[in-house]
Amino acid sequence: MILSTQMADSFIAGANLGKSQDSVKSGQPLTLSLSFKVDGAIREVFSQKNWERAYNKHDNGFRMTIEIDLKSGRRTIRPIKVVRKAALFWTRNPKISYRIWVSIVKDDAPFYPLTEEEARSMLFDVNKVIELSGNDLDSGSHKLYADIRVSWGKHHYTEPAEIRGKSNEIELIRVAA
């Protein structure tokens, strides 16, 4: 559900699901990699000029929730929830020529980007490694894909929105062992 016409042009781009191997046995680990970008209007409005305006109005945080359902057909194999945060703060870093800057929290670790584009990349570019076991799949052939939902709340520079996307399908065989 998109609540703002301004955010209607935000979208999930380049969703790609990759696999480490074509077949897996019971109990054997399986590594999948999912990558995508949140692109469009939300990426454009996430700029230093808007950070400063928002900070001056005491809007000093941005929280984006990413929900990924790894599916085989209609069956959800693994639901995954990831939260990315941006905190606006008053900086005195001599490498940054602005008064208000941003720190990005991803995977529970803070990062301090030196450019706006680096901040956008840290917040909106997702590369997730998904660890599965052969026990998570039934015997036979499976077509796996990721259902992706990204949402954020209302801020000085954006309205609340939820966007959806779907990755490519990969074929995987679970061999009975």
- Reduced 3-state DSSP string for 43-107: HHHCCHHHHHHHHHCCCCEEEEEEEEEEEECCEEEEEEEEEEEEEEEECCCCCCCCCEEEEEEEC
- Give CA–CA dist 50/98, Å, rounded: 12
How high is the pLDDT of residue 93? 87
pLDDT mean over 91-96: 89
Task: Give me the count of residues in the chain.
Answer: 177
Task: Give yes or no for residue 6 having a pLDDT over 90.
Answer: no
69-72, long-range: CB within 8 Å, 24+ apart, which pairs? 69/146, 69/147, 70/32, 70/130, 70/132, 70/144, 70/145, 70/146, 71/144, 71/145, 71/146, 71/147, 72/137, 72/142, 72/143, 72/144
Q: Using the predicted structure, report yes or no on whether residue 69 has a pLDDT greater than 90.
A: yes
Between 7 and 77, whose confidence is greater?
A: 77
Distance CA 84, CA 106 (A): 5
Report the DSSP pairing between strands 100-106 and 75-90: antiparallel
- State yes or no: pLDDT of 3 exceeds 90: no
Express each pLDDT in 34-57 by its tens digit.
999 999 999 999 999 999 999 999
Q: Which helix (H) or strand (E) is 31 found in, with range?
A: strand 29-39
- Per the model's pLDDT, the better-predicted residue between 81 and 177 turns out to be 81
Q: What is the pLDDT of residue 135?
A: 87
* Structure letter (DSSP) for residue 135: G
Q: Quickly state the pLDDT bin for 137 (edges 50, 70, 90).
A: confident
Both tokens of residue 47? 């700029």
- pLDDT value, residue 174: 86
CA distance 13 to 20: 22
Q: Does pLDDT of 166 surpass 80?
A: yes
